[in-house]
Amino acid sequence: MKMQQVINACVLAASLVATAPAFAVDFSLTYLGQQIVPTATIFSATNVGGLSGIDYVAASGRYVAISDDRSGINAARYYDLSLDLTQFQRSATPGMAGVSFNAVTTIQKPGGGAFAVNTVDPEGIRYNAATDSLYWSNEGQRAAAGFQNPTVREMKVDGTHVRDFSVPTRYNPLGSIPGLVAGDRGIYNNLAFETMALSTDGKTLYTATENALSQDSLPSTVANGSSARILSFDVATGLSKAEYVYNVAPVVLAPNPATAFATNGLTDMVAIGERQFIAIERSFAVGAITPGTPVTGNTIRLFHVDARNATDVSGMDSIVGQTVQAVVKTQLLDLSDLKNDDGSTLALDNIEGITFGPMLNGKATLILVSDNNFSATQFTQFVALQVNPVPEPETWALLLVGLALTGGIAQRQAARRT
């Protein structure tokens, strides 16, 4: 790594680590541009779509993106792709220049072979450079077609299964199909493990339910929010560790008609410091209309999430009746406020994945991706944001120098080993 790259990395680290007082947010986000891949785009004999999680692989400068195809269209899979952010546009019709799919890999079930139809629901993905492997989440199922437990797994980059992480049994669906009957337990259908986050030190893996467990609270509606859980694992052992409550907000816009489908959920997180994250909440309502904006029904908001003072609820099978301090959320950005260069409001699809991208013009980037549900009325959308640090000059200047020295030492040690 060249010294300038070390300094760039230090700028990012210094802008995100917790040197300011607890719950402070020391960065802002601005809109760089977007690109759109049309539904029904074919790559290597697969239908590109359902991209629910994304992660940047710094060593290659490429990304991995997982599809939530339940082996219904093609086998469960993830893609290797490239994004040229210099070609992203603040335009309502940006095209897909700069978006290149390089490879597709079938995800293997334990024991080998592709997953059968409707036996898996891939959602989140993270790459670990230390092990050259991928962590991914499987949402599970609570439906008339059957109950499936949610899982968190590790695979090699060739898709081969490595191991399962130990998800507590309280997450397994039990009871009625809706999950709304007294005594029901576990995940709600399609509201489970959407997320995957790896701590900045690489020692802790996180997933989270999109909404609450059945025994904790109701799913999110226009009238009420939902008490989701963030679940952590020890990467070395695969054992589950602390759990924290994340209060998902109510659905933002009312559906039309009022009885139509509506939901809000925690769809992904990326770690930025000790038990701190940037999280996506995606609200959707059928027929929802905001005057002056494109009609997609989606409201996408990004939050700074701080779990440092949150209650560890891993010892609570249910949080009902318990005194619990949830994670602290601070809104960073409502993507409905973003404008293209012609003044038009950015039309938003079903944004579900988030990752940091490369440094661009000396600043960090944040990349979002949408799950088009393989629908002709939706689109696979990549949105690029710029991270603008607001450091405390004295404290963070000292930290930057320290990180730069540390990076230089690590670089010299690596050089001596080669």
Residues 312-346 have pLDDT tens digits of 999 999 999 999 999 999 999 999 999 999 999 99
pLDDT tens per residue across span 233-278: 999 999 999 999 999 999 999 999 999 999 999 999 999 989 999 9
Q: Options 2.50.20, 3.20.20, 1.10.287, 2.115.10; which CATH number does 20-391 get?
A: 2.115.10
Q: Is residue 417 over pLDDT 80?
A: no
Which 3 state secondary structure label does DSSP give 360? Answer: strand
Q: Is residue 19 over pLDDT 80?
A: no
- For residues 218-242, average pLDDT: 98
Say what the pLDDT of residue 295 is: 66
Q: What is the C-alpha to C-alpha distance for residues 218 and 150, in angstroms, rounded to an integer?
A: 19
Amino acid at 382: F
Which 3 state secondary structure label does DSSP give 151? Answer: strand
pLDDT above 70: percentage of residues in the chain: 86
Q: Please, which residues have CB within 8 angstroms of residue 353's CB and are 6 or more apart in sequence?
A: 51, 52, 53, 54, 65, 124, 267, 268, 280, 368, 369, 370, 371
According to DSSP, the β-strands at 161-164 and 141-143 are unpaired
Run of H or E residues at 153:
strand 151-156
Q: Where in the chain is the domain with CATH 2.115.10?
A: 20-391
pTM for the full predicted model:
0.88
Q: Please, which residues have CB within 8 angstroms of residue 45's CB and are 6 or more apart in sequence?
A: 74
pLDDT tens per residue across span 266-311: 999 999 989 999 999 999 999 987 666 676 899 999 999 999 999 9
Q: Is residue 185 over pLDDT 70?
A: yes
Q: What is the dihedral of CA 39, 43, 48, 52, to 10 degrees?
A: -150
Q: What is the C-alpha to C-alpha distance for residues 241 and 297, in angstroms, rounded to an integer?
A: 36
Say what the pLDDT of residue 292 is: 61
What DSSP string runs through 273-340? ETTEEEEEEEEEETT---TTS----EEEEEEEEE-TTS---TT-S--TT----PPEEEEEEEGGG-B-
Residue 196: how many CB atoms within 10 A of its CB?
26
Say what the pLDDT of residue 418 is: 41
Mean pLDDT of the chain: 89
- Ramachandran region of residue 254, left (φ > 0), alpha (ψ -120 to 50) or beta? beta
What DSSP string runs through 16-67? HSS-SSTT---EEEEEEEEEEEPTT-EETTEE---EEEEEEETTTTEEEEEE
Say what the pLDDT of residue 121 is: 98
